[in-house]
Amino acid sequence: MQITELSLRSYRNYEDIALGFDDGAQIFLGANAQGKTNIIEALYYAAFGRSHRTSSDAELIRMGDDGAYIGLRFVRHDVPGELSFTFQRGARRRIEYAGENLRQRDLVGILPMVLFSPEDLFLVKGAPALRRRYLDAELSQASPAYYGELLRYTHILRQRGAVLKDIRERLAPVDALLPWDAQLARSAAWIVTRRIAAVADLGALSTRVQAVLADGEELTLSYEIAGADEDVPGAKEGMAQRLELWYNEMLIENRARDIVRATTGTGPHLDDLVLRVDGMSLRSYGSQGQQRTGALALKIAELFYLREKTSEAPILLLDDVMSELDADRRRALLDFIRCERIQTFITATDAAYFPAERMGTYRHVQAGQVLED
């Protein structure tokens, strides 16, 4: 997997640039607020159809301009491809893949990517929503079917919430929940079964990575179903059927509470990924260094997972994380990049974060201009 060219027009602080890339590390150096992260953001957008920094496409358009453009050329499984995104103020964006219009739901998985940014250092100690998003992102890239079911579940959840509100306001009977409960239980069981299987795979990978990053510490992962009595260690035969029955029971048991709150209090939108080091909760008892190592181990495990599932290494994006890691973790991360030969895009403020021997292509970014060193 290799990105060969990125073109930006009227995007953020870039007027018109075209950058070519080889298959090695692409390092962008410069002071803050010069445009380094905008390049990472454009690459991420090409993979997911959304920014990791804003929910508004209008913010991507250069100030004073009416529209913007992202163009990407890449090679996957030795086959060249091309993606483009065209933005216009007051109009819907247009996505094109190989010259044909594309829906966002069909975009995910075309360009597998893993992003590691300073915000991801909160992956361990932050809210469960961050870890659910981590799981959903990697599963969606590995399986279009998972992404489709996730969209379906979100739709069911929204519709059930609307019915709960109508019941609370005496605009609908309680029986109006029955068809939505059946659909939600089935979809929830499908999603959770696949999350549990992925966590089992990630756990094995994370343990190996952790052993390299922090010799002597054992990192373990488990999946926590909200409302269940214990964590789930791994997928088992017949689990989907048992989960569907359990979700149906929980929806009935919690129906009165859900009506009062007009929200669904059962389902995978409330679950969590639990990390432990040497048997202790990393979120509750881990030191800051241990938590950062755990976050890094998760991200590297995600790379291995996607490579196993898609038969090709994904693109790695590292946005300003070098300053957040200590020297040992920086060295371990850069050694991994060189050893695995994964195309990696790195932003940093200081060349001193990198080894004396050059490890890729270096570019300097200043006020929306990119110059190769």
Higher pLDDT, 373 or 166: 166
pTM, two decimal places: 0.90
Q: Which two tokens stand for residue 343?
A: 């195309």
Question: pLDDT value at position 43?
Answer: 98
Q: What percent of the chain has pLDDT over 90?
A: 78
Mean pLDDT of 171-193: 97
Q: What is the pLDDT of residues 97-139, one digit of tens each?
A: 988 999 988 999 999 999 999 888 889 999 999 999 999 999 9
CB count within 10 Å of CB 79 equals 7
CB count within 10 Å of CB 200 equals 16
Q: What is the pLDDT of residues 330-358, one digit of tens each?
A: 888 898 888 888 999 999 999 999 988 88
pLDDT at 230 over 80: no
C-alpha distances in Å from residue 207, one per residue of 124, 177, 178, 310, 329: 15, 43, 43, 21, 16
**Sequence-distant contacts of 204-210: CB under 8 A, at least 24 apart:** 205/300, 205/301, 205/304, 205/305, 206/297, 206/298, 206/301, 209/296, 209/297, 209/300, 209/301, 209/304, 210/277, 210/293, 210/294, 210/297
Q: Is 47 exposed, middle or buried (0-12, 13-18, 19+ CB in 10 A)?
A: buried
Q: Which residues 6+ apart lie within 8 Å of 125 measured at CB? A: 283, 286, 291
